[in-house]
Chain A
Amino acid sequence: MQVNVLLFAALREAADCDTITIEVAPTATAGDVLRSVAEAIPTVAGLIPSCRVALDSRYVTSTEPIQNANEIAIIPPVSGG
């Protein structure tokens, strides 16, 4: 299935867009999303291992299934403040 993934900061800039569409299996997990995005944007693949995934604005672990999420976001290490 195709899913849209929100990108921010260095990821957004590298992809030159704030949303990327990737193809994943219906059983895909948050970890699968990270792997697919690393393949789709090789210039920032090095940053992906330190990123977290948020489903519907909530951090999840890499084993969490994405199937029921309305919104998928990749959260690079944050730097507010």
Chain B
Amino acid sequence: MNDSRDPILVQLVSKGIDVGQLQSFIADPDVGAHGWFHGVTRRRTGDKITQILSYEAHESMAISELNRLAREATERFELTRLVIVHRLGIVPVGEASVVIGCSSPHRKQVFAALPWLMDHLKQDVPIWKQETFVDGSSEWVHR
């Protein structure tokens, strides 16, 4: 259970995301719903096969933007706890690059918060992915 006063946890990590630890962060006796989103590296995009994704960030700004989004989401969706972790560096196929977990007294809030957070993360948080394909070519994704 999380007894800390700050209901928000935001992290950038360089290794696999430890979801077990995050589960205890969003636990609270007064919530009735935990909601999770795991964004993972997909192997196939159209006819291209991805070998790895690699992420870089403007780290201090990414932390500050993630905190801003987290505070807005907590207020907007009446979340009890919220954790957002983004991985940087190489993320192999099938592993998570981003994990968002949130808890709230009722399910509707967590169902609504997750897409809102991911949409805004993809729009404003200064993190970039570079795709490397099995044919050896690579490209930065800027869209």
A: residues with CB less than 8 A from B are: 6, 8-10, 13, 47, 50, 54, 57-59, 73, 75-81
Nearest 7 pairs between A and B by C-beta?
A80-B127, A9-B128, A57-B61, A79-B141, A10-B140, A77-B142, A79-B129
Residues of A within 8 A of B65 (CB): 57
Question: Are A79 and B127 also in contact (CB < 8 A) when A9-B140, A9-B142, A50-B142 are?
Answer: yes
Query: In whole Å, how far is A61's beta carbon from the nearest beta carbon of chain B?
Result: 14
Say yes or no: A81 contacts B126, CB within 8 Å: no
Say yes or no: B143 contacts A77, CB within 8 Å: yes
- Highest count of chain B CB atoms <10 Å: which of A6, A75, A78: A78
Residues of A within 8 A of B143 (CB): 77, 79
Say yes or no: A78 contacts B128, CB within 8 Å: yes
CB closest chain-B residue, reference A54: B61
- Highest count of chain A CB atoms <10 Å: which of B55, B56, B61, B65: B61
Query: In whole Å, how far is A18's beta carbon from the nearest beta carbon of chain B?
Result: 10
